Structure 1
Amino acid sequence: IFETYFGPYPFADEKYGHMEFAVNGAAMEHQTMSSMNSFGKFTIAHELAHQWFGDKITCGSWNEAWLNEGFATFGEYLIYEKNGMTPAEFLNHLQFHLNSITSLPGGSVYVNDSDLGKIPAVFSGRLTYQKGAFVLRMLKWILGDDDFYQMLREYVANPNFAYQYATTENFKNQLFISTGKNFTEFFNDWIYGEGYPTYTIKWNQPVANQNLHFLISQTQSHPSVGFFEMPLPVKVTGTNGEVANLVLNNTQNNQNFSELINFKVANISFNDDLQIIEKNSTVIYDPSLLKAESTQKQTVILYPNPVENEINFKGISRQTAYEIYNMEGVLIEKGNYHPSSSIKVSTLPTGIYLIKINEAVFKFQKY
């Protein structure tokens, strides 16, 4: 499993072995030979993961001990998920770690110079191990499994670090090289910064089978972070059991979102699979949210959706300006809609788009 996701075992020309020694609760990886007081599956997994993260690539200083221990703890997660636990058991284990991570309001994954003389700070179970591993889980959530593990294999194989040393900044740069995405803000918040967010998610669907509105606010447990930017996992359940899994890219406080949901919403849940670090977040149905738009949503209807050639609207009685955006928020077309005509979209590439008309925003699928 580790070779599949991390790359070839780094010392394949030699061996991998275990040595038993009689120290309660202790284990220690050494290159090609780990020492442990018992041969539990997940102890073995943790120490074996160190052959990639700790032995092939060693943390460049004690400040970044998480590059060893957080990564090895993430190796445990990988085994829990792929070959060790049921999904429910895995979620229970993640929740245990999440409760530990958020048991105190502060503390950074990166070990500050003032704490380097304190062994419990360098090897903090809560921060170096658990939060370090959960940070990697959040990166996997943001990138998706394929891109995340490809990045990880490229990091392990990078000749600048392989059988040498790496720092937190080196790893951040590898993320940019592998994915083209800048994670500076993410690292400032989650590695160098302290604490965690708490979310309040208010929702309302003024008209059944149409736009679902959200208002998302956030508080932070520690003043070192002004705002945690994060794509949020939200699950929408309908009155007839329909399910839609949304990703709301929360980039500012008190942010509004509008998503087209083609069923009547019964329930909203948040972070069900524990993809992100948060604590005491709440989801609230708020019937007053965007209530002023409800009349408009009742009278303005986009059809057909999905669409191949032409878009029309019910409830617009005069010529009205419209704008079409792609899902990155880029304006790609604008013009005027007249009730006696239609908006031609046949030349648009297949995909999902937003159209704004008469102060309403609709999502449509072009096929």
Structure 2
Amino acid sequence: MTRALIAALALTAWAAPAVADTYPRQPGVDAWHYVFRVELSDTSPDIIGEATVDLLFTKDGVSRVALDLASAANGKGMTVSAVTTGAARVQYVHQNNVLTLTLPSPSTSGRHGIFTIAYRGAPANGLRLLQNKYGEWCAFSENWPNRAREWLPTIDHPSDKATSELIVTAPSRYQVVANGLLQEETALGDGRTRTHWKQSVPIASWLNAIGVEQFDIHHAGQVSGVELQTWVAHQDADAGRVYFEGPARQAIDFYSEHVGPYPYEKLANVAAAGITGGVEHASAIFYGERGLGAAPATNLVAHEIAHQWFGDAVTESDWDDVWLSEGFATYFTLLFTEHYSGRDAFVTGLTASRARAIATEKSLPGISVIHDNLADMTQVLNQLVYQKGGWVLHMLRGVVGTDAFWAGIRDYYRRYRDRNVSTDDFRRVMEAASRQDLAWFFDQWLKRSTSPSFEGGWRYNPTARRIEVELNQTQAGEAYRVPVEFGITSAGEPAMRIERVVMTEKGSRYTIAADTEPVAVAFDPNTWLLMTGATFRKLP
């Protein structure tokens, strides 16, 4: 990279991300802190809620504020009974799942407005009151991606992170887990207990979570300074410790050492009814209770814990960039595998991920990793953002080198921890770490909807004492710019010799010096390329 490019990066690296998805932003309004008070009963589908919302105004003249909250319809949703600020009532309109507050007077930049909303109703989603696999009553939230509004009045978009408190009143035979640190458990004397959790690190609205059940709770000690907990149904005490705790210890150690300090006050792994897989709530990860088994859930736990760094602490500003969460968790799970299980297991995982990425490209023609002004939140996730997103990180590591890759990742986390980020922000960090212009790389891999394919071969020229390689990209459209490796195996040589070229055209010829004819020449021997296929053989 030239000195001019480095200087330009220094001047532009930390610009604000652009708006892309269609969620209606509110300029001048910043959610600062939420206090959610929720009363639950195991004999009613209704909840009673009171939310205190602290907003920071960042410009003068704001006269209305909109919060997301599901409207009542068909026996579900929330009904608001009052909104106040201090002792004064606030005018509001609640319709079409939006609660609009009219401010008593226009805002002043730098001042806070604190509003308390009283409401009740039966959540249609977001918070589920149900029976667990043992037939016992429980309640678990699952707010992904925009279902916090089903039971909590919030600015329900990842671009507006805030600290929060969850104060849950429930029958005393149940225990309550939530984000952050436990502040108090108070028996109210009427058969109910009030449990207060406080999340002191700002998070996106959907990451707020509660679980209410007759839990077995295991405090598993400290890992890299992090309190580790296991919360499972009381019948699953032994299985929960096996399933969660070994992989969790490894994951916290690995990510803390290689990325940066764990961002939250604790890590609770929670077996939850009503979900499958895992949901990476900040400091309280929920996993489907029916997946609980007799063996450690190594890959699942490693993936969800990776999200504590990527997706939770460093959060995409916009749903179009959801790959910054899921692609990162996918690849960092593979890096976890590489660290603990070795190169062969890593390559096996890469190969399976590549197959899923290419299959998804074929099933979703015209769709790229970065969404294009996403409006339909049911389409926010697909295997491209997971598998192809993860492969983009792997190829980036191949382009910039492992040392620069890790240096960039650590700087990215340090700079954007507890903040929002865009793909361009990440690109600029990696450009600074590698001293390379990477716009071409991000554009072709994140914005094109298909991957390259290759066809070619090699022959040996004994007169010139060289290997002659012919290689073509056979995909439709323009050529990809790709670093390509050839692995040369020669008789009597203990190790494969690696030669690397940069291919920039659809068809290319290369020559490689060789005193004797090789036994074999392999294409992409170290598994660096995402491709739909490759045919590479010895030519006549």
Q: Which residue of 2 aligns with 1:61?
A: 318
| Pairing 1:230–2:482 present | yes
Indicate how the Cα distance of structure 1 residues 262 and 10 shifts in structure 2: closer, same or farther if over 3 A, else same.
farther
Alpha-carbon distance, 1:141 to partner:
1.1
Alpha-carbon distance, 1:44 to partner:
1.2
Alpha-carbon distance, 1:118 to partner:
4.5
Q: What is the distance in 2 between the residues matched to 1:22 and 1:209?
A: 69
Indicate how the Cα distance of structure 1 residues 16 and 263 shifts in structure 2: closer, same or farther if over 3 A, else same.
farther
| Pairing 1:202–2:419 present | no
After superposition, give the CA deviation of every residue in 1:249-270 in whole Å (9 maximum; x if it has no partner).
Answer: 1122222222212432121111
CA contact (8 A) 1:208 1:265 kept: no
Indicate how the Cα distance of structure 1 residues 24 and 263 shifts in structure 2: closer, same or farther if over 3 A, else same.
farther
After superposition, give the CA deviation of every residue in 1:262-309 in whole Å (9 maximum; x if it has no partner).
Answer: 43212111123321101221113224xxxxxxxxxxxxxxxxxxxxxx
| Alignment map for 1:45-56 (pairs within 5 Å) | 45-56=302-313
Q: What is the distance in 2 between the residues matched to 1:25 and 1:234?
A: 42
| Pairing 1:282–2:508 present | no
CA contact (8 A) 1:66 1:129 kept: yes
Q: Which residue of 1 aligns with 2:355?
A: 99
| Pairing 1:178–2:433 present | yes
Q: What is the distance in 1 between the residues matched to 2:331 and 2:409?
A: 12
CA contact (8 A) 1:63 1:116 kept: no
Alignment partner of 1:116 out of 357, 375, 380: 375
Q: Which residue of 1 aligns with 2:406?
A: 149
Q: Which residue of 2 aligns with 1:35?
A: 286
CA contact (8 A) 1:212 1:261 kept: yes
Q: What is the distance in 1 between the residues matched to 2:308 and 2:315?
A: 10
Q: Which residue of 1 aligns with 2:267?
A: 16
Indicate how the Cα distance of structure 1 residues 63 and 214 shifts in structure 2: closer, same or farther if over 3 A, else same.
same
Alpha-carbon distance, 1:216 to partner:
1.6
Equivalent position amino acid for 2:261 in 1: P
Indicate how the Cα distance of structure 1 residues 25 and 263 shifts in structure 2: closer, same or farther if over 3 A, else same.
farther
Equivalent position amino acid for 1:199 in 2: F
Equivalent position amino acid for 1:22 in 2: A
Q: Which residue of 2 aligns with 1:88?
A: 344
CA contact (8 A) 1:208 1:263 kept: no
Q: Secondary structure at the match of 1:281?
A: strand
CA contact (8 A) 1:231 1:249 kept: yes
Q: Secondary structure at the match of 1:127?
A: helix
CA contact (8 A) 1:208 1:264 kept: no
After superposition, give the CA deviation of every residue in 1:72-109 in whole Å (9 maximum; x if it has no partner).
Answer: 111111111111x3543332222221111112344311
Q: Which residue of 1 aligns with 2:391?
A: 134
Alpha-carbon distance, 1:49 to partner:
0.8
After superposition, give the CA deviation of every residue in 1:315-346 in whole Å (9 maximum; x if it has no partner).
Answer: xxxxxxxxxxxxxxxxxxxxxxxxxxxxxxxx
Q: Secondary structure at the match of 2:300?
A: helix
Q: Secondary structure at the match of 2:530?
A: coil
| Alignment map for 1:228-307 (pairs within 5 Å) | 228-241=480-493, 243-287=496-540
Equivalent position amino acid for 1:101 in 2: A
Kindly indicate which of the two structures has a greater share of residues assigned to strand. Answer: 2
Indicate how the Cα distance of structure 1 residues 251 and 10 shifts in structure 2: closer, same or farther if over 3 A, else same.
same
After superposition, give the CA deviation of every residue in 1:220-239 in whole Å (9 maximum; x if it has no partner).
Answer: 25x4xx12111112211123
Alpha-carbon distance, 1:176 to partner:
1.5
For structure 1, list consecutive stretches of 5 or more residues without a partner in the other structure.
Answer: 288-367
Alignment partner of 1:76 out of 333, 344, 347: 333
Q: Which residue of 2 aligns with 1:3?
A: 256
For structure 2, list consecutive stretches of 5 or more residues without a partner in the other structure.
Answer: 1-253
Equivalent position amino acid for 1:281 in 2: A
Q: What is the distance in 2 between the residues matched to 1:135 and 1:73?
A: 11
Q: What is the distance in 2 between the residues matched to 1:140 and 1:180?
A: 14
Q: What is the distance in 2 between the residues matched to 1:228 and 1:148?
A: 21
Q: What is the distance in 2 between the residues matched to 1:51 and 1:208?
A: 59
Q: What is the distance in 2 between the residues matched to 1:116 and 1:247?
A: 42
Alpha-carbon distance, 1:208 to partner:
7.4
Alpha-carbon distance, 1:202 to partner:
2.3
Q: What is the distance in 2 between the residues matched to 1:128 and 1:90?
A: 19
After superposition, give the CA deviation of every residue in 1:97-148 in whole Å (9 maximum; x if it has no partner).
Answer: 11111123443110122x53052x3111x20111100100001111121110
| Pairing 1:216–2:468 present | no
Q: Which residue of 1 aligns with 2:445?
A: 190
Q: List structure 1 segments (4+ residues) > 4 angstroms apart after TM superposition.
A: none
Alpha-carbon distance, 1:207 to partner:
1.0
CA contact (8 A) 2:310 2:324 kept: yes
Q: Which residue of 2 aligns with 1:336?
A: none
Q: Secondary structure at the match of 1:220?
A: coil
Q: What is the distance in 2 between the residues matched to 1:6 and 1:175?
A: 14
